[in-house]
Structure 1
Amino acid sequence: MLSRPSFVSDDAIASAVTTHWLPDVAEIAYLPWGFGAHHWRVAGGGRTLFVTLDQLEPRHTEASLEAAYAGAAALAAAGVEAVCAPLPARSSGRFTVGVEAGALSATPWLDGRSPTEAEAGEPQHVHQVEAALAVLHRATPPAGLRRWTPQVGPDFADELRARTAQPWRSGPLAEAARGAIAARGAVIERWTDRYLELADLARARRHLWVPTHGEPHNRNQVVGACGLKLVDWESLALAPRERDYADLIAAGAGDRLDADPAMVELFALDWRLAEIAEYARWFAAPHTGTDDDHTALEGLHEELSEASG
């Protein structure tokens, strides 16, 4: 997230890291990176960690995050080299620690950087990502790995209509968001009906599901001396392999992927509807117009304006 969390201090994060991962913390810096979780760089004793605070409900539970991060660690231990695995806490061996309203985790600091969208679309890089995902998809699923499930149900469009029927007074961007959602009610209903139809098809083929990252786009990639690493494994799940293909297809690799068009469509809708649901919750709740709020509103307009509607 671009903005610091208001509900937890750097000192509280440093204290948790000291207790569970790095006993001699000397430096902590908040990182205004990404969207959806909070991040810090924490250093001490010759080691540097990348520390993440994932917020819980509605996207996660303590159990689902622990299973995802434990699964990532198991995949790395089994030889999936592209996994940047979380580190277990010293005392418990768990990969997440409860802090305030979220779950804290830590990974080694990688010597590299995330590629830009343009760099991620270069053929050599696309081939690297294809190869990394192929290894992931061939891996034996770790014990306890969750199965993908639809992120919205059949009542989603009706629930949005009801929620947007009256003005939102929750913050400076509330009405802009409400109006945008309300104007696309019929399209959202069509998207949802098609999404659930495709989800039924996917579930009929569960025997073909594989471990998937869920969001292996350029912002969740690090390249450099570390090679190519995939980070942010909170969405790890058993699913059709097409769940990981959106950016590769956009980069022109579709002909090489043997992808099922129906499953590609499913996960395009999966992303879009999940984002709309998240933004609806965001702007119906109190907000103040931060940089994150404005970024979220841009994201909402982008999802609602998809040409396929």
Structure 2
Amino acid sequence: MLSRPSFISDEAIAHAVAAHWLPDVAEIVYLPWGFGAHHWRVAGGGTTLFVTLDQLEPRHTEATLEAAYAGAAALAAAGVDVVCAPLPARSSGRFTVGVEAGALSVTPWLDGRSPTEEEANRPRHVREVEAALATLHRATPPPGLRHWTAQVGPEFAGELRARTARPWTSGPLAEEARAAIAAHDAAITRWTDRYLELADLAHSRRDQWVTTHGEPHNDNQVVGACGLKLVDWESLALAPRERDYADLLAAGAGDRLSADPAMAELFALDWRLSEIAEYARWFAAPHTGTDDDHTALEGLYEELRQVTAPGPPGPP
């Protein structure tokens, strides 16, 4: 997130990291990176950690987030080199620690950077990501790996229609967001119907599901001395392999991937509808017009612009 969390201080984060991972914390720096979680660099005693604070509801529970990060660690231990794995807490061996309204996790600090969208679309990089995902998809699923489930149900479009029927007064961007969602009611209804039809098809083929990252786009890649690593494993799940293919299909790798068009469409809709649901919650709740709020509004408009057949989605 671009803005620091209002509900917890850097000092509280440093205290939790010292208590569970790095006793001699000497420095903490907030990192205005990504969108959805908060991040810090914490250093001390010659060690540097990348610290993530994931908020829980509605996307996660403590149990599902712990299972995802434990699964990533198990994959790394099994030799899946593309995984940048979380580190276990010293006392409990768990990979998450509850703090305030979220769960804290840490990984080693990687010597590298995330590629830009332009760099990520270059043929050589696309082939590297293809190979990394092929390795992940061949991996034996770790114990306790959750199964992908539909992000919205048959009531989604109707409930959203009811919620947007009256003005929102929750913040400076609320009414603009509400009006944009309400204007796309017919498309959201159509997308939801098609999505649930495809989700049923996917579940009928569960014997073909594989271990998937869920969001392996360029912002969740790090390249450098470490090679190519995938970070942010909170969406780890057993699912159709096309769940990981959105950016690769957009980059023209479809012929090599042999992606099922129906499953590619499913996960384009999966991203779109889950994003719309998240932005509806965001702007119906109190907000003040921060940089994160404006980024969220841009993301909402990006998803609502997809009024034709759903192509491969991208991060907001």
Query: Using the alignment, how far apart are the partners of 2:145 and 2:107 within structure 1?
Result: 20
- Indicate the SS of the match to 2:306: coil
In structure 2, the residue corresponding to 1:181 is in which secondary structure? Answer: helix
Partner in structure 2 of residue 188 of structure 1: 188
Give unmatched runs, 5+ long, in structure 2.
Answer: 310-316
Any runs of at least 4 consecutive aligned residues in structure 1 with deviations exceeding 2 A, and if so which?
Answer: none
Tell me, in whole angstroms, the C-alpha distance in 2 between the residues paired with 1:99 and 1:73: 21
1:95 aligns with 2:95: yes
Quick one: which amino acid aligns to residue 249 of structure 2? Answer: I
Alignment correspondent of 2:300:
300
* Structure 1 length-normalised TM: 1.00
1:258, CA displacement in angstroms? 1.0
Per-residue Cα deviation, 1:65-93 (whole angstroms, up to 9, x for no partner): 00000000000000100000000000000
CA drift at 1:248: 0.3
Aligned residue for 2:255? 255
Which residue does the alignment assign to 1:82? Answer: 82
Q: Residues 60-71 of structure 1: matches in 2 within 5 Å?
A: 60-71=60-71
Matches for 1:205-220 after TM superposition, within 5 Å:
205-220=205-220
1:93 counterpart letter in structure 2: G
1:113-138 CA deviation, whole Å, 9 max, x = no partner? 00000000011100100000000000
Hey, what does 2:73 align to over in structure 1?
A: 73
Q: SS where residue 103 of structure 1 aligns?
A: strand
1:169: how far off?
0.2
C-alpha RMSD of matched pairs (Å)? 0.5
- Partner Cα separation in structure 1 for residue 111 and residue 69 of structure 2: 21
- Correspondence list, 1:1-309, <5 A: 1-308=1-308
Instruction: Tell me if structure 1 keeps the 8 A contact 2:187–2:307.
Output: no
**Separation in 1, partners of 2:286, 2:110:** 36
Question: How far is the alpha carbon of 1:308 from its aligned partner?
Answer: 1.7
Residues 19-41 of structure 1: per-residue CA shift (max 9 Å, x gap): 00000000000000000000000
Task: Find the residue that maps to 2:180 and give its secondary structure.
Answer: helix
CA distance in 2, matches of 1:136, 1:289: 39
Structure 2 SS opposite 1:152:
coil
CA distance in 1, matches of 2:47, 2:279: 37
Cα shift readout 1:245-282 (whole Å, capped 9, x = no counterpart):
00001011010001100000000000000000000000
**Structure 1 unaligned residues grouped into runs of 5+:** none
Partner Cα distance (2:121, 2:186) in 1: 34
Q: Letter of the 2:120 partner, please give it.
A: A
Aligned residues: 309
TM normalised by structure 2 equals 0.97
